[in-house]
């Protein structure tokens, strides 16, 4: 009896620990989001900013910790869609004008130094941070990009303290003003074998808004407890280009220069094909999968929703642009597996009906209510959807004056999932199935086992007129469709 109390206590405390981490992250995330929207909302794709001031250079001078003031001008440019960042700083020292330049594209960076003009190529992780430090919105965006590491540290001196990591061994503390939600200060722990454990600090002061972007009037950097540089922001330009006309880039290899203006696309590749009146197939070539789109007289229905929120949002946009007059109102699912229903969260905020079976309700509700702040998908947990269940071993018809589809529940005999729907379009004599059938492109027939037999039995017992049988997953190596003859052969094969 005592032991079971201990077990229950352990379970409860483990549960609250999990919740603590998520709650802490979500608090940090909401502060960060507010800071980002306060600092710069709907920014143009590119920003170029110039600042100038003094580096208090600690060199080999006559007394300890003596510094020499060196004038510096910094130019930083950021290109969101191209994932390009550019930094150029010019110092005046001993009568010489010396230049240090870096330009990064995605994860690589080219740099030339003040005193060594040879070109060095390296990984851009550290550079991304150094470049972001020059403009608060970029630093906040870097924290957002790395938000899986984001934590709330507490509140101190009218600042929220958040922490994030941009690589495995570096953590940055953001000090966000509790009143203005602007970034006043950043701190980063470092090590130096003369000074020991040290702090690198940047302070931003005197924010003003330019075209919706909050830009500080000045930045002060501290190293080893001393002021390292003091800069005043001078000039800000938007919509410059990541090429030699806007940036001085003749020193990077031509091949790299040419790559800079390329927009980094994260989109899936879709191709749409009409397979019958009112029925279009969307081939997801990048995911080796397919979904079906059906046109009713006043709305659109989608069949299957494979994993990938980005993918499903892209499918939604594709449907909106192809059928602008008809809203998406129904999502028909064959079964609960991820490659068929893993993406339903993308539809949770739309007034759609999910056609499925009752055994999936609890699981689907869980998928539909999850938060997805670590994805680019930051929507409310959906409340607009509803369910429509097809009864076990039963059928249900969805029909209007343009299209009819009949859902049949046949899970019990499929040996695949306990509940499984197959969709029949009588006007087109077309059957849509999930994971039960495969029709090879080379025409070879393989035994289909219980899965194929379950569909074959459905067609024969219900006496469905079927010309074409379409399947969802997979795409590659598959014939466009199979026939009742193919199905008979594969369900008889041993
Ligand atoms: Zn499956």
pLDDT exceeds cutoff 80 at 4: no
Ligand 1 mean position to 416 CA, how many Å?
7
pLDDT at 377: 67
Ligand 1 mean position to 335 CA, how many Å?
7
Ligand 1 mean position to 414 CA, how many Å?
10
Pick the CATH number of 25-259 from 2.50.20.10, 3.40.50.450, 2.60.260.40, 3.40.50.720: 2.50.20.10
pLDDT at 1: 46
Collapse the DSSP code of 449 into the 3-class scheme (helix H, G, I; strand E, B; otherwise coil) and give the result.
Answer: helix
Ligand 1 mean position to 311 CA, how many Å?
19
Ligand 1 mean position to 336 CA, how many Å?
7
Residue 316, judged by CB atoms within 10 A of its CB (0-12, 13-18, 19+), counts as middle
Ligand 1 mean position to 340 CA, how many Å?
7
The dihedral sign for the CA sequence 163, 164, 170, 173: negative
pLDDT at 16: 55
The whole-model pTM stands at: 0.81
**379-412, pLDDT tens digit by residue?**
666 678 999 999 999 999 999 999 999 999 999 9
CA distance 296 to 323: 11
Ligand 1 mean position to 338 CA, how many Å?
8
Q: Model confidence at 17, in pLDDT bands (50, 70, 90)?
A: low
pLDDT at 381: 61
Ligand 1 mean position to 448 CA, how many Å?
14
pLDDT at 491: 85
pLDDT at 74: 96
Ligand 1 mean position to 388 CA, how many Å?
20
The pLDDT of 327-355, averaged and rounded, is 96
pLDDT at 380: 66
The pLDDT of 447-459, averaged and rounded, is 92
Ligand 1 mean position to 437 CA, how many Å?
11
Are 455 and 422 a contacting pair, CB within 8 Å? yes
Range of weakest confidence among 152-156, 300-304, 413-417:
413-417
pLDDT at 65: 84
The pLDDT of 193-221, averaged and rounded, is 95
CA distance 279 to 423: 13
pLDDT exceeds cutoff 70 at 378: no
Ligand 1 mean position to 454 CA, how many Å?
14
% residues pLDDT > 90 (the chain)? 71
The pLDDT of 275-285, averaged and rounded, is 96
Ligand 1 mean position to 475 CA, how many Å?
14
Q: How many CA atoms lie within 13 A of 292 on its CB side?
A: 29
Ligand 1 mean position to 46 CA, how many Å?
44
Ligand 1 mean position to 473 CA, how many Å?
9
Ligand 1 mean position to 435 CA, how many Å?
5
pLDDT exceeds cutoff 70 at 183: yes
**234-254, pLDDT tens digit by residue?**
999 998 888 777 788 888 888
pLDDT at 27: 96
Q: How would you classify residue 379: left for phi > 0, otherwise alpha for psi between -120 and 50, otherwise beta?
A: beta
pLDDT at 132: 96
* Phi (first) and psi of residue 105, to 5 degrees: -130, 125
Q: What's 270-492's CATH class?
A: alpha beta
Ligand 1 mean position to 334 CA, how many Å?
9
The pLDDT of 305-320, averaged and rounded, is 94
Ligand 1 mean position to 318 CA, how many Å?
25
Max mean pLDDT range (44-48, 165-169, 394-398): 394-398
Q: Model confidence at 460, in pLDDT bands (50, 70, 90)?
A: very high
Ligand 1 mean position to 434 CA, how many Å?
7
**132-165, pLDDT tens digit by residue?**
999 999 999 999 999 999 999 999 999 999 999 9
Ligand 1 mean position to 276 CA, how many Å?
25
Ligand 1 mean position to 461 CA, how many Å?
24
Ligand 1 mean position to 341 CA, how many Å?
10
Q: Where are the domains of the chain?
A: 25-259, 270-492
Ligand 1 mean position to 337 CA, how many Å?
5
The pLDDT of 293-307, averaged and rounded, is 97
Beta-sheet pairing, 328-332 with 151-156: unpaired
């Amino acid at each position: 009896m005592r032991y079971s109390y201990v077990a229950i206590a352990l379970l409860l405390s483990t549960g609250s620990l999990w919740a603590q981490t998520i709650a802490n992250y979500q608090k940090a995330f909401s502060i960060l989001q507010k800071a980002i929207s306060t600092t710069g909302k709907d920014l143009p794709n590119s920003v170029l900013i110039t600042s100038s001031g003094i580096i208090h250079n600690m060199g080999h001078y006559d007394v300890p910790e003596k510094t020499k003031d060196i004038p510096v001008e910094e130019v930083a440019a950021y290109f969101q869609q191209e994932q390009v960042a550019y930094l150029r700083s010019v110092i005046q020292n001993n009568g010489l004008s010396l230049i240090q330049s870096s330009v990064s594209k995605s994860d690589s960076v080219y740099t030339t130094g003040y005193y060594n003009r040879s070109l060095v190529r390296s990984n851009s992780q550290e550079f991304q941070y150094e470049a972001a430090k020059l403009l608060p919105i970029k630093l906040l965006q870097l924290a957002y990009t790395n938000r899986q590491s984001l934590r709330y540290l507490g509140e101190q001196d009218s600042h929220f303290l958040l922490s994030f990591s941009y690589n495995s061994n570096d953590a940055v503390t953001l000090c966000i003003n509790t009143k203005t939600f602007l970034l006043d200060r950043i701190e980063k722990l470092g090590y130096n074998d003369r000074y020991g454990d040290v702090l690198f600090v940047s302070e931003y002061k005197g924010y003003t808004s330019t075209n919706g972007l909050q830009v500080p009037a000045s930045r002060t950097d501290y190293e080893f407890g001393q002021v390292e540089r003091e800069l005043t922001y001078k000039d800000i330009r938007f919509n410059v280009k990541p090429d030699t006309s806007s940036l001085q880039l003749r020193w990077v290899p031509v091949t790299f220069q040419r790559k800079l203006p390329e927009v980094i696309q994260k989109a899936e590749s879709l191709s749409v094909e009409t397979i019958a009146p009112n029925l279009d197939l969307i081939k997801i070539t990048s995911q080796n999968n397919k979904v079906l789109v059906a046109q009713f007289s006043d709305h659109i229905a989608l069949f299957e929703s494979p994993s990938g929120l980005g993918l499903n949002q892209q499918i939604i946009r594709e449907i909106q642009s192809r059928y602008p007059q008809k809203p998406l109102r129904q999502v028909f699912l064959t079964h609960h597996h991820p490659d068929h229903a893993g993406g339903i969260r993308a539809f949770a905020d739309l007034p759609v009906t999910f056609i499925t079976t009752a055994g999936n309700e609890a699981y689907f509700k869980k998928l539909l209510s999850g938060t997805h702040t670590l994805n680019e998908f930051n929507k409310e947990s959906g409340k607009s959807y509803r369910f429509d269940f097809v009864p076990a071993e039963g059928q249900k018809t969805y029909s209007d004056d343009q299209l009819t589809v009949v859902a049949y529940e046949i899970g019990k005999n499929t040996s695949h999932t306990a509940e499984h729907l197959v969709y029949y379009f009588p006007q087109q004599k077309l059957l849509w199935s999930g994971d039960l059938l495969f029709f090879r492109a080379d025409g070879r027939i393989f035994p289909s086992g219980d899965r194929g037999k379950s569909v074959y039995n459905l067609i024969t017992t219900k006496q469905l007129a079927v010309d074409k049988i379409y399947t969802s997953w997979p795409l590659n190596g598959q014939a466009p469709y199979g026939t009742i003859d193919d199905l008979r052969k594969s369900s008889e094969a041993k």
